[in-house]
Amino acid sequence: MSLPTVMRVVEDLIAADLVALGPSEPSGGRRRTLIEFKGAAHAVIGVDIGGTKMQGTVVDLVGRVIHDVCIASEGEAGPEHALNRLYDLIQGLLDVPLPAGQKMRGIAVGAPGVTLSNSGTVAWAPSLGWRDLPLHDLLASRFHLPIFVENDVNLATLGEYGFGLAAGTQNLVCITVGTGIGAGVMLEGRLYRGHDQASGEVGYFLPGTQALGRRYDQYGALEDLASGRGIASLAAAHLRAVHDPLTPQDPTAEDVFRRAREGAPWAVTLVEQTADLLSLMIANIGALLNPEVVILNGSVARAEDLIVEPICKRLEGLIPYVPRVLLSDLGPRACAMGAIMMVLDATTGHVMVNRRI
């Protein structure tokens, strides 16, 4: 880049209040003027709409959390109710006082299921009952800021790429195992969304030939067995046949993990089956895409001793190049970190993320 081009870019960034001239430093000749990123001058809102919870975070552009809140999605109350919960969550985050001089730059929302990022439409989110929901347009009509709607795991993948353990990794897969199972794929430093923008729907992976010939109109075959919802359902079916006074008759995945750590044989077996299925999924992803790193997140994956460590052991020798499998250190804030990447990219003309059409 020529010096005039550099100067013009810096002037544009100063005008946008994204950088400022800092102190000069000696360089052996003429003193150099440094520039600094003004990340604290701007904030974004990132929302992770989960199947059971919505996590909303106000964060500045360097990743400092200003405020966050988690509420129940209440998708079982109907699609309209879940949408109103989202409206209330975002409005509450907009009402949070910002540090003096800080400006809100935009809102990025990660939606579960198949999400068309170019139009901001949630094509199908079974946990919320949303089908062909024009979420971008609905949010834009209420909140007069730049709005971005993306698949939740894709948004989390951007967060991992920018701020997590896999920062800067060009070939990366992020897998969230919670109410459902989904993956975000980054190839050569760009999100890969697929022909129908439905890449990463790994909850529909087939666990075996027994799944052939069946229809999965709601959750996928793998989700029925290895997601938090699937683990809880399998546990409940077992407990109907076997009395276990130490486990609720309507158990959660966390109840199953607790009983497995306590040595209950049925819970140990169920957890081992989950680790087997997730290992097969990651091995197949690794053989197809050859990612450098696989990041695991979500309520099920956070049982690191029962899920992540056994997966790493099972993968040894299975495929030619085994990716590093790591537990996310961003946790439920991964989408908020991804919101920084998406909003900053789309409002400054950066080229890493495909901007809305």
209-255 pLDDT per residue, tens: 999 999 998 899 999 999 999 999 999 999 988 878 889 989 999 99
349: confidence class by pLDDT, cuts 50, 70, 90: low
Please give the Cα distance from 341 to 355 (Å, whole number): 12
356: confidence class by pLDDT, cuts 50, 70, 90: very low
Please give the Cα distance from 197 to 53 (Å, whole number): 24
CA 276 to chain centre: 23
Residues 301, 307, 310: CA angle, nearest 5 degrees? 145
Average pLDDT, the chain: 93
Residue 64 makes CB contacts below 8 A (sequence gap 6+) with: 39, 40
Mean pLDDT of 147-157: 97
Please give the Cα distance from 95 to 11 (Å, whole number): 32
Are 175 and 296 spatial neighbours (Cβ–Cβ below 8 Å)? yes
Mean pLDDT of 340-347: 91
Q: What spatial distance separates the first Cα and last Cα of the chain, rounded to whole Å?
A: 29
| Token duo for residue 352 | 């890493």
Mean pLDDT of 120-143: 96
Residue 142 makes CB contacts below 8 A (sequence gap 6+) with: 87, 90
| Token duo for residue 335 | 């989408």
Q: At what angle do helices 265-289 and 308-315 cross, to 10 degrees?
A: 50
* CATH H-level superfamily of 165-329: ATPase, nucleotide binding domain (3.30.420.40)
Nearest to 59, CA basis, from 351, 348, 293, 332: 332
DSSP code of 196? T
Place of tokens 């199972």: 181
Please list the alpha-helical segments (H only) found in 218-305.
223-226, 228-241, 253-261, 265-289
Q: At what angle do helices 228-241 and 253-261 cross, to 10 degrees?
A: 70
pLDDT score recorded for residue 357:
29
CA dihedral for 275, 277, 278, 280, sign (positive or negative): positive
| Token duo for residue 347 | 């409002």
For the chain, helix, strand, coil in percent to 5 are 40, 25, 35
28: confidence class by pLDDT, cuts 50, 70, 90: low
Identical fold for domains 43-159 and 165-329, yes or no, is yes
Nearest to 17, CA basis, from 32, 38, 2: 38
pLDDT score recorded for residue 143:
97
Please give the Cα distance from 207 to 249 (Å, whole number): 27
CA 103 to chain centre: 25
Ranges of each domain in the chain: 3-37, 43-159, 165-329
**pLDDT reading at 353 higher than 60:** no
DSSP 52-67: SEEEEEEEETTS-EEE
Fold type of domain 43-159: Nucleotidyltransferase; domain 5 (3.30.420)
249-292 pLDDT per residue, tens: 899 999 999 999 999 999 999 999 999 999 999 999 999 999 99
Output the pTM of the full model. Answer: 0.91
30-58 pLDDT per residue, tens: 778 888 999 999 999 999 998 889 999 99
